[in-house]
């Protein structure tokens, strides 16, 4: 078995320094603009209050939830072939969620006030209150799970209980996040009781994209540097799961688009027709970011190929980020009750400050991730799995 | 305690925007932060095209979706203040979820790009935590109810001029600007309306002028299907919101 984690060496140090520099610069730029201009440095407005920072938070939070669900496959449901990615998935889920929360913190009007007014006022009617509760629980469970794995408890009673708790927290957090949008009947583009299912699917898709990309990054984009069990997973169950969730995502988008375009309600069909499908960016993100990866993952001779998997993960990053952006903005582009003051769809393009927050979140993710790779053994696997048969047998054969 | 409500007669309203101006002067709002506005709508096409207009304050809903979604209870409906919906600026975290949830678009996050240049916030920089300090500022201030000039990073909205209404004598039923002893307690938009298209009073009192008008002239609430149940009623022809129609594609 040949395991080489390039992030533990000089390449990792270089990436750490680079991402830390990008983090400091992007944070500094956003902080400077927010301090001098306030939220006037955003291109959001009272007619379209949620912009790219919210879409970025949504993307990160759901990618984290997706990674949490992937980690539950072996820890809760007994799919032991996923053990080789569990520790990395849990750590990634943690740092992606922290990065998303950092972006959200910069978007809010009074972030520090939030720390006391939410717990002291207990507004249990608000889905956003529960978002705070469930994501904090999610963070705690992720840390706890990571700690049990660090201690080498892969299959203990405690690790199972924490795993189940974590899985429930992830389901509640991402499902509730969907309902923040899905319960808004005054925003018909979002109003959808099945939105949690759509969020679960896309969460796993974005989680898989992150997992695959960071696995390859850690191993210098070479399978030879990976353990045999990890290689086996990347040639078997994982690409199939990736294909399945991308297929599910496409199905959901198709169903939403068909019902949206069919309805007479202009607050839905106009959004699909004149905002989403009229946008070349949306079209590109849909066809290149979701359809093409799905096709690639469905081709037996391509889906096990390392280059294809890296390409697909990068394409899905972009595709699902755009999906989140168009989802968040799409629910607001039809002006509510504005008459001829807003006689068209509301125009919105993110400002440089908003972009800097997206970059800041990404840089924070890279920084924390590389730190984690250097300080911990994220490739750790339970001894019983490591001792299992060589690539080509076992999981691949049975999958 | 009264349940304060407003009635707006569209057959009398001329769309002059005096109410909008009076509100802005009374509450020191910024351009674009239109707690009270008159919205114009085009409906239909030639030869039956119509132009409609709707004066639009906060509806102070009986079942306000903005209150339900607020994670901090910063937005609340105060039954001891006539059922007016307030924003506590000391609790608001600026998440803007209430703006998403309000079907009437009557909430404002003034910490945004200025609607008009020059930016009044730069000409009259804010003091004492305010976003800006206009030279002639209403002395009434109550941040727990979102009255005054707001600090940055919070949401603002119409308060039915609670700083005036709250001073009305106990048991007052109709706050009518034509009654000399009441006129100081009438909301600015009602008091200033030249064609007297607005009425303000107690919706819980069967003898109130607002209840009589709603009953006699078939008062309706806008977007009633949302279930928010506004405390603002409209009278007359054209009391409805046309469906959104985008600009024709060239």
- Could you report the per-residue pLDDT of A283-299, keeping only the tens digit for each? 999 999 999 999 999 99
B33 chain-A contacts, CB cut-off 8 A: 46
Query: In the Cβ-directed half-sphere of B194, how many Cα atoms lie within 13 Å?
Result: 7
Size of interface A-B (CB pairs under 8 A): 146
pLDDT at residue number A393? 41
Kindly state whether residue B81 falls inside one of the protein's structural domains.
yes
In a domain, A141, yes or no: yes
For A348-363, what is the HEC assignment?
CCCCHHHHHHHHHHHH
Name the domain count of chain A: 1
Using the predicted structure, report yes or no on whether residue A169 has a pLDDT greater than 50: yes
Cβ A336–B103 below 8 Å, yes or no? yes
**DSSP character string of A308-366:** HHHHHHHHHHHHHHHHHHHHHHHTTSS-SS-GGGG-SPPP----HHHHHHHHHHHHHHH
Question: Which of A339, A344, A347 to mutate to probe the B interface, most B CBs <10 Å?
Answer: A339
Q: For residue B120, count other CB atoms closer than 10 A to its CB.
A: 18
Choice between B237 and A111, residue whose per-residue pLDDT is larger: A111
Mean pLDDT across B62-76: 97
- The answer to whether the Cβ–Cβ distance between B71 and A118 falls below 8 Å is yes
Q: Which residues of A touch B73 (CB under 8 A)?
A: 117, 121, 123
Q: Decide if A221 contacts A213 (C-beta within 8 A).
A: no
Work out the pLDDT band at B182, boundaries 50, 70, 90: very high
Candidates B52, B71, B90, B98, partner chain A, best to mutate (most A CBs within 10 A): B71
In whole angstroms, what is the distance from residue A177 CA to residue A187 CA?
16
Give yes or no for residue A42 having a pLDDT over 90.
Answer: yes
Confirm whether A71 is domain-assigned: yes
What angle (nearest 5°) sits at the alpha carbon of residue A114, between those of residues B109 and A325? 55
Dihedral of CA atoms B147, B151, B152, B154 in degrees, nearest 10, equals: -40
Q: Which residue of A has its CA nearest to B51?
A: A340
Question: Mutate which of A52, A125, A126 to disrupt the B interface (most B C-beta within 10 Å)?
Answer: A126
CATH number, domain of A350, equals 1.20.1630.10
Angle at A209 between CA A229 and CA A31, to 5 degrees: 130
A313-357 pLDDT tens trace: 999 999 999 999 999 999 999 988 877 777 789 999 999 999 999
The domain that holds B150 is classified in CATH as 3.30.70.20
Q: What is the pLDDT of residue B42?
A: 83
pLDDT band at A137 (very low <50, low <70, confident <90, very high): very high
Burial class (CB in 10 A: 0-12, 13-18, 19+), B4: buried
Write out the residue range of the structural domain in which residue A40 sits: 6-335+343-390
Smallest Cβ–Cβ distance between B39 and the set A125, A128, A337 belongs to: A337
- Are residues B39 and A338, on separate chains, in Cβ contact within 8 Å? yes
pLDDT surpasses 60 at B219: yes
Which residues make beta-bridge pairs with B85?
B77
Tell which wins on pLDDT, B238 or A317.
Answer: A317
Q: Is cis: bond before A279, omega within 30 of 0?
A: no
The reply to whether A398 falls in a domain is: no
Distance (Å, whole) CA A261 – CA A265: 9
Domain range for B214 is 4-235
- In a domain? residue A154: yes
Residue A395 belongs to a domain: no
Q: Does residue B166 fall inside a structural domain?
A: yes
Judge: A266–B101 Cβ closer than 8 Å, yes or no: no
In this structure, is residue A44 part of a structural domain? yes
Residue A1 lies in a domain: no
Nearest to B27 by CA among B108, B125, B117: B108
- Write out pLDDT tens, residues A82-117: 999 999 999 999 999 999 999 999 999 999 999 999
B134 located within any domain: yes
Contacts of A340 in chain B (CB under 8 A): 39-42
The pLDDT of residue B250: 63
Per-residue confidence band for A397, with pLDDT thresholds at 50, 70 and 90: very low
Q: How much is the pLDDT for A386?
A: 56
Chain B residue numbers with beta carbons less than 8 Å from the beta carbon of A109 are: 92-96, 109, 111, 152-154
Pick the residue from chain A with its C-alpha nearest to B57.
A337
Instruction: Tell me the ipTM for this assembly.
Output: 0.93
- pLDDT at A198 exceeding the cut of 70: yes
Residue B114 lies in a domain: yes
A399 lies in some domain: no
Strands B198-202 and B75-78: unpaired
pLDDT on residue A51: 97
- Residue indicated by tokens 């705690």: A140
From the CB of residue A277, how many other CB atoms can be counted at a distance below 10 Å? Answer: 14
pLDDT, one tens digit per residue, over A223-252 is 999 999 999 999 989 999 999 999 999 999
H or E element in which residue B27 lies? helix B18-27
What total of structural domains would you count in chain B? 1
Q: How many CB atoms lie within 10 A of CB A261?
A: 15
**B241 in any annotated domain:** no
Confidence of residue B45 (pLDDT cuts 50, 70, 90): confident
**What's the average model confidence in pLDDT over A128-147?**
94
């Amino acid at each position: 078995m040949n395991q080489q984690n390039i992030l533990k060496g000089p390449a990792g140090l270089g990436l750490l320094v680079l991402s830390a520099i990008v983090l400091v610069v992007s944070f500094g730029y956003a902080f400077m603009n927010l301090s001098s201009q306030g939220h006037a440095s955003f291109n959001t407005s009272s007619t379209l209050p949620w912009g790219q920072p919210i879409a970025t938070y949504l993307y990160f939070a759901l990618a984290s939830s997706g990674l949490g669900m992937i980690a539950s496959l072996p820890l809760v449901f007994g799919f032991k072939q996923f053990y080789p990615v569990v520790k990395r998935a849990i750590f990634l889920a943690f740092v992606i969620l922290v990065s998303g929360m950092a972006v959200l913190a910069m978007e809010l009007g009074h972030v520090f006030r939030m720390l006391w007014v939410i717990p002291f006022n207990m507004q249990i009617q608000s889905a956003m209150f529960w978002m705070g509760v469930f994501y904090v629980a999610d963070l705690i469970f992720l840390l706890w799970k990571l700690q049990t794995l660090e201690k080498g408890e892969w299959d203990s009673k405690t690790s199972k209980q924490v795993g189940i708790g974590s899985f429930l927290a992830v389901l509640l957090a991402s499902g509730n996040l969907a309902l923040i949008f899905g319960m808004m009947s005054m925003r018909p583009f979002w109003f959808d009781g099945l939105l949690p299912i759509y969020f679960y699917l896309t969460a796993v898709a974005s989680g898989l994209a992150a997992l695959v990309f960071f696995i390859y990054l850690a191993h210098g984009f070479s399978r030879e540097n990976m353990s045999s069990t990890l290689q086996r997973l990347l040639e078997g169950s994982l690409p199939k799961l990736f294909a399945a969730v991308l297929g599910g995502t496409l199905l959901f988008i198709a169903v939403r688009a068909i019902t949206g375009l069919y309805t007479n309600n202009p607050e839905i069909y106009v959004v699909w027709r004149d905002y989403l499908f009229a946008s070349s960016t949306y079209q590109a993100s849909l066809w290149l970011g979701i359809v093409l990866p799905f096709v690639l993952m469905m081709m037996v001779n391509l889906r096990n190929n390392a280059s294809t998997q890296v390409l697909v993960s990068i394409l899905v990053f972009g595709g699902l980020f755009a999906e989140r952006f168009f989802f968040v903005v799409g629910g607001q582009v039809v002006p509510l009750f504005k008459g001829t003051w807003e006689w068209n769809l509301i125009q919105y393009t993110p400002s440089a400050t908003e972009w800097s927050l997206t970059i800041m979140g990404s840089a924070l993710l890279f920084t924390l991730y590389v730190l984690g790779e250097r300080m911990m053994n994220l490739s750790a696997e339970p001894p019983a799995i490591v001792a299992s048969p060589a690539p080509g047998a076992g999981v691949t054969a049975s999958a | 305690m009264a349940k304060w409500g407003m009635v707006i007669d569209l057959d009398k309203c001329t769309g002059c925007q005096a109410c909008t101006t009076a509100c802005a002067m009374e509450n020191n709002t910024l351009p674009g932060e239109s707690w009270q506005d008159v919205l114009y709508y085009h409906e239909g096409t030639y030869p039956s095209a119509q132009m409609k207009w709707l004066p639009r304050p906060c509806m102070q809903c009986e079942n306000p979706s903005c209150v339900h979604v607020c994670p901090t209870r910063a937005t609340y409906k105060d039954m001891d203040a006539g059922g007016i919906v307030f924003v506590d600026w000391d609790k608001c975290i600026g998440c803007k979820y209430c703006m998403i949830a309000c079907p009437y678009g009557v909430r404002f996050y003034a910490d945004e790009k200025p609607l008009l240049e020059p930016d009044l916030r730069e000409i009259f920089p804010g003091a004492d935590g305010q976003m800006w300090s206009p030279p002639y500022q209403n002395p009434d201030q109550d941040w727990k109810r979102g009255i005054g000039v707001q600090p940055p990073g919070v949401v603002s909205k119409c308060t039915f001029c609670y700083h005036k209404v709250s001073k009305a004598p106990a048991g007052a039923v109709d706050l009518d600007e034509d009654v000399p002893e009441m006129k100081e307690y009438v909301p600015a938009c009602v008091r200033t309306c030249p064609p007297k298209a607005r009425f303000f009073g107690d919706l819980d009192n069967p003898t109130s002028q607002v209840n009589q008008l709603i009953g006699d002239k078939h008062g309706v609430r806008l977007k009633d299907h949302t279930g928010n149940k506004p405390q603002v009623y409209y009278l007359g022809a054209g009391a409805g919101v046309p469906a959104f129609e985008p600009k024709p594609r060239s």
